[in-house]
Amino acid sequence: MANYQLLKADIDEKVYENAQQKITGANLNSVLNKMVDSLGKGYQFGGLVFPADSFVAGDEKMVFVASSAGRYPSFGNYSIVDGEVALFIWEGAWKKQVVSYYKNDQVYGVRHFYNNSSPDLVRIGDSSLHRDLPVQSTMRRCVVNTTGDVLYYLGENDSTKKADGSGADLTGTNTTNVMVEVAEHYRKCSLNAAGGYMDVEVSLFPFEGAIFVPRYLVSAFEATVDRENDVLASVVNKTARYRGGNNNADWDGTYKSLLGVPASSLSLTAFRDKARKLGADWGCYDWNVHTDIFWLYAIEYATLNSQKAFNPDLDAAGFRQGGLGAGVSNFNNWNAYNGTYPFIPCGHTLSLGNKTGVVAFTLNAEQAVAYGSEHTEYVPSYRGIENPFGHIWKWTDGFLARGTGEYQEVYISRDRKQYSSTLNDSYIDMGHDAAANGYVKSILATTQSLSQTLRVYGDLIPTDDTGSATTYYTDYHYTAHVEGTIYGALLGGDAALGTLGGLACLDSYYSPAFAYAFIGSRLVWQK
């Protein structure tokens, strides 16, 4: 065991007032002294560590200090960004605790004047950050194993290749999955009622009032099912093992073939269970992850309208402009075509790599005859996330609502291991939604009665559905409120929804047990 009095004396000697004025030397001194006090209660102090250091955890409780930027594979695979000081704590599992933060100059975001009908937002923070987009730029496709470890990253401009240019295996060999990695970061939503605006800000660095968003992996493609192992998967594979839809083999070899498309016709409960079979840190699509993706998009493009026409060019100031396009949302003869089952193959946007863009999907001659005419849809990808909205609805965990007869009481869980199809103690009462169906005009975060503790997340819970397809949030909200009924969240819309769909589109009309041809999900990993 270390001599803790000597350690405390060393801290007293070396930690002093700094010039950042975000966390004072005195505060840091106090924090570290308290940390040392706790170390004597069964912890061993491992000292200062660096990204290349190795450590094999044993039975002892350990704590380490890290301040060098980089990823620490031997310490929970956590990252340290420039200017950050954190503790890596081993207690049978790794956790990270940030000690200092002083990079408020690295915060950027958008301002939403919520009484203004325009969906467009005002960029706030250093303009260079809106050009560099440091948080969004961490997003990249990769192939991972069942423990969430990255086996290799995929090519920046071509996902059929590894980052080193060699060929990639996207087929699910050895139960691998193709995911998009999003680095740990910080996000805050805050309200200025007097000014009539809401700010949403992000940073790679801790900043005052922000929540910590741990590193997560979200499936690059809409999820299918590994039929041999009965687990959720994100792969590019057209064999029977990964047949999508409802696993109907009778359609193989026809224009309606479900080989290679996402799985559907499963309940929220079924999607969750099949994802969890991969391991404790896996789940189906996640409300909190989706909220993060929405705000990363909104900050990057300075708009709430995800269906704005796609424009690959930067504007005169060097900022992103436009949106992600209509998405796969204008397939009007869908029911006659294949009974509203998925039809876009997983991996259709591989040619984009990590770039945002759209790729045309044009019906071949046989498909066109079945559809009734020639037809082209444009499949979007947001920084590697294919079909982030449209095509099929996505069952989304972490959201439950209860009907009162008048509206829905909305409950959100922040504890992924407690996600359920019934309410439990992890679900937080957020308030109630808008009582009628319609285009979303406002969300709960702009309601003055909501505490900042809850508002900080920026949850996309509609409170007023009197907007339109071109104003406010531009997307539709479906709701039902039968007294005592529990409802789940479907997100994004489907191939026949047109302008009603988008990143902010929410359908809380069905119970978590509901399953249908046009409902799928995604795969998510997060510690």
Contact 408, 417 (CB under 8 A): no
Q: Tell me: do 110 and 213 sit in the same domain.
A: yes
Q: Tell me: do 95 and 122 sit in the same domain.
A: no
Structure tokens at 61: 């409780």
> Cβ contacts of residue 107 below 8 Å, gap of 6+?
125, 129, 201, 202, 203, 205, 207
Whether residue 109 lies inside any domain: the answer is yes
Rounded to 10 deg, the angle between the 4-14 and 25-39 helix axes is 170
Instruction: Tell me how far apart the alpha carbons of residues 303 and 295 are, in angstroms, rounded to a whole number.
Output: 10
Instruction: Tell me how far apart the alpha carbons of residues 216 and 203 are, in angstroms, rounded to a whole number.
Output: 16
> Digits of tens for pLDDT over the chain (527 positions)?
345 566 666 666 656 555 554 555 665 666 566 566 555 567 888 889 999 999 988 878 899 999 888 889 999 888 887 667 889 999 888 988 877 655 567 999 999 999 999 999 999 999 999 999 999 999 999 999 999 999 999 999 999 999 999 999 999 999 999 999 999 999 999 999 999 999 999 999 999 899 999 999 999 999 999 999 999 999 999 999 999 999 999 999 999 999 999 999 999 999 999 999 999 999 999 999 999 999 999 999 999 999 999 999 999 999 999 999 999 999 999 999 999 999 999 999 999 999 999 999 999 999 999 999 999 999 999 999 999 999 999 999 999 999 999 999 999 999 999 999 999 999 999 999 999 999 999 999 999 999 999 999 999 999 999 999 999 999 999 999 999 999 999 999 999 999 999 999 999 999 999 999 999 999 999 98
Whether residue 175 lies inside any domain: the answer is yes
**pLDDT at residue number 4:** 55
Nearest Cα to 160, choosing from 350, 349, 385?
A: 350
How many domains in the chain? Answer: 2
What is the DSSP code (8-state) at residue 250?
A: G
Q: Tell me: do 115 and 187 sit in the same domain.
A: yes
What is the DSSP code (8-state) at residue 44?
A: E
Q: Tell me: do 130 and 144 sit in the same domain.
A: yes
Among 196, 219, 242, the domain-final residue is 219
Q: Tell me: do 129 and 173 sit in the same domain.
A: yes
Q: Which residues pair with 223 in a beta bridge?
A: none
Q: Tell me: do 177 and 110 sit in the same domain.
A: yes
H or E element that contains 11: helix 4-14
Whether residue 398 lies inside any domain: the answer is no
**pLDDT at residue number 167:** 97
Whether residue 121 lies inside any domain: the answer is yes
Structure tokens at 10: 């060393």
Alpha carbon distances (Å) from 1 to 6, 31, 44, 65, 455: 12, 21, 6, 17, 44
Structure tokens at 92: 């049978």
Instruction: Tell me how far apart the alpha carbons of residues 499 and 381 are, in angstroms, rounded to a whole number.
Output: 18
Phi, psi (rounded to 5 degrees) for 145: -95, -175
Residue 482 carries which side chain, given as an amino acid letter? V
DSSP result, 135-194: TGGG-EEEEE-TTS-EEEEBPSS-TTBBTTSSB---S-GGG-EEEEEE--EEEEEEEETT
Checking DSSP bridges between strand 108-113 and strand 462-464, what pairing results, if any? unpaired
Q: Tell me: do 76 and 41 sit in the same domain.
A: yes
∠ Cα 252 258 262 (to 5°): 160
**pLDDT at residue number 385:** 98
Contact 141, 179 (CB under 8 A): yes
Whether residue 513 lies inside any domain: the answer is no
Q: Tell me: do 66 and 124 sit in the same domain.
A: no
Class of residue 75 by CB neighbours under 10 A (exposed 0-12, middle 13-18, buried 19+): buried
Q: Tell me: do 131 and 176 sit in the same domain.
A: yes
Instruction: Tell me how far apart the alpha carbons of residues 345 and 102 are, in angstroms, rounded to a whole number.
Output: 45
CA 297, distance to chain mean position in Å, is: 11
Instruction: Tell me how far apart the alpha carbons of residues 102 and 86 are, in angstroms, rounded to a whole number.
Output: 12
Residue 38 carries which side chain, given as an amino acid letter? S
Instruction: Tell me how far apart the alpha carbons of residues 261 and 264 are, in angstroms, rounded to a whole number.
Output: 9
Whether residue 456 lies inside any domain: the answer is no
- Print the SS3 string covering 409-448: EEEEECCHHHCCCCCCCCEEEEEECCCCCEECCEEHHHCC
Residue 109 carries which side chain, given as an amino acid letter? G
Checking DSSP bridges between strand 185-192 and strand 94-100, what pairing results, if any? unpaired
CA 46, distance to chain mean position in Å, is: 34
Whether residue 33 lies inside any domain: the answer is yes
Among 100, 131, 164, the domain-final residue is 100
Contact 478, 470 (CB under 8 A): no
Q: Tell me: do 38 and 128 sit in the same domain.
A: no
Among 53, 72, 100, the domain-final residue is 100
Phi, psi (rounded to 5 degrees) for 261: -100, 165
Q: Tell me: do 136 and 179 sit in the same domain.
A: yes
Q: Tell me: do 85 and 141 sit in the same domain.
A: no
Instruction: Tell me how far apart the alpha carbons of residues 340 and 234 are, in angstroms, rounded to a whole number.
Output: 21
Structural domain containing residue 158: 104-219
**pLDDT at residue number 316:** 96
Number of other residues whose CB lies within 10 A of the CB of residue 157: 11
Question: First vs last Cα of the chain: how many Å apart?
Answer: 30
Structure tokens at 387: 């079909």
